[in-house]
Structure 1
Amino acid sequence: MSEWAPKRFWKSADILITDHGFGVVLDGRPVRTPAKAVLHVPSRSIAERIVQEFDAQNERIDPRTMPFTRTANAAVDKVAVQHADVADMLADYGDSDLLCYRAEAPDELVARQNDMWDPLLDWAARQMNARLEPRVGVMHAPQDTAAVTALRKRVHALTEFELAAFHDLVAISGSLVIGFAAKAQFKPIEELWAASRVDETWQQEQWGEDEEATEMAEHKKAAFLHASEFMRLLSVQTSD
């Protein structure tokens, strides 16, 4: 979006039905991505959010206030042209998933990890035929090949728009399982965010809040919640 004109130049933003789904037009002219492709999304609900982001701009455009536009741009410009590479990168999290690396002590932290992480691993085993096993410590220990392969196939089956949102769900949480749980809406997204922050929350409780770390966490949380909403809206069916 750095290539966009910094000043607002349009009066109205509207949705346009296209051969690829839904586009957005500014005073009748199609919105283009930073790579100059015509922007399109498969869901009217997402197109509506993008229109709202354009409508909300004041005299100068602020890309930070346009997360749906950014994610759609990423899907078209980046993920679509290197889908396999992005899918492989995210699938690799399955062999080193956050949920599998447990503390040895103290007992309170161990219990909290077990309570919040075991149900997610059980869900993955039940719903995706992918049993990932926890281990104590931070040293890498390979997971069962069949489980990792099952997860990898599911990642590669995602569309470019799903994968764009899935990227943030996984990369921010550090967990492929949490990413899939968010996509499936297995638990409320706030609970999944809390599950990804068990260790950080514990440290904060023991040593107090660090202002810089808290601010960074809030930015990550906002991106995580946005990715979940983008993924959810991909499946929302609305009339033309």
Structure 2
Amino acid sequence: MKRFYKTVAVSEADDGAFLVTLDDRNLSSPAKRPLRLPTRGVAEAIAEEWDAQGEKIDPSSMAMMSFAATVTDRVTPQRDHVVGEIAGFGGSDLLCFLADGPDELVGRQVTQWTPWRERAEKRLAMRLVVTSGVMPVRQSEEALAAFRASVEAVDDWSLAPLHTATSITGSLILALAFLDGDLGAAEAFGLSQVDEAFQVEKWGQDREAELRRRGLLAEMKAAERFKTLVSGER
């Protein structure tokens, strides 16, 4: 798509929402819904992305716009569905599945994952079942309900980065700690990659896998920035 505007600006609506304008026309989502943003910070970040476009618009270069569009077009209209998707990870959380060997890998998982699993148990007042290998495990109804309640308590604008973090790490435990600010994007991603890092140490780096990891980490960092901006921080 060719660039169809010259100027980009941010304004504040009477109800306190922030708007991005392209040539004095309010920016909408891809589904043509009004883009009403919760903080000036996120509005300015989106405005900067649009202003930085050249003769052709590259949607892949606008991560903050992508998150805002996701909230507007998917999260808010389908909130219960999105909450269910995220909460569902609690039933098969990565941190509840230890490897069945070798001992060195298991030791790393125990050392690095146990504190975060225990943090979740304490904060959500529940107990988690931990297994080894690929054996299926069923968490208690109390644990599943606690996970869902924790996700339901998250506002729409924060559900988008929470969904990204949960999907990338495979762990609602890590994603909730990330959302709370107890884990940074790089640290949360690193904890989800304990097995992969171990394999790299033993067998060497695979270029394709490494490129994929870099891409996922970049997505995590974008989610972290969006999370910070919608919270009103800089």
What TM-score range do you get, normalising by the shorter chain? Answer: over 0.9
Tell me the TM-score normalised to structure 1 length: 0.92
Secondary structure at 2:216 match in 1: helix
**What is the aligned counterpart of 1:121 among 113, 117, 120?**
117
Q: Does 1:210 align with 2:196?
A: no
Instruction: Tell me what 2:222 maps to.
Output: 226
Instruction: Tell me what 1:28 maps to.
Output: 24
For residues 133 and 44 of structure 1, what CA distance do their matches in structure 2 show? 43
- Contact 1:20 1:41 survives alignment (8 Å): no
**Matched length:** 233
Q: C-alpha deviations, 1:116-165, integer Å up to 9, x for none?
A: 11111111122232432321111221112212211101112222221111
CA displacement at 1:20 relative to structure 2: 6.0
For residues 16 and 124 of structure 2, what CA distance do their matches in structure 1 show? 30
Q: Could you tell me the percent identity over the aligned residues? A: 37
Amino acid aligned to 2:3: R
Instruction: Tell me what 1:183 maps to.
Output: 179
Structure 2: runs of 5 or more not aligned: none
For residues 197 and 169 of structure 2, what CA distance do their matches in structure 1 show? 13
Q: Does 1:17 align with 2:16?
A: no
**What is the aligned counterpart of 2:37 among 34, 41, 46?**
41
Q: C-alpha root-mean-square deviation of aligned residues, in Å? A: 1.4
Instruction: Tell me what 1:86 maps to.
Output: 82
Tell me the TM-score normalised to structure 2 length: 0.95
Q: Does 1:98 align with 2:94?
A: yes
Q: C-alpha deviations, 1:58-91, integer Å up to 9, x for none?
A: 1111111100001100100111111101111110
Structure 1: runs of 5 or more not aligned: 1-5
For residues 237 and 207 of structure 1, what CA distance do their matches in structure 2 show? 42
- Contact 2:11 2:19 survives alignment (8 Å): yes
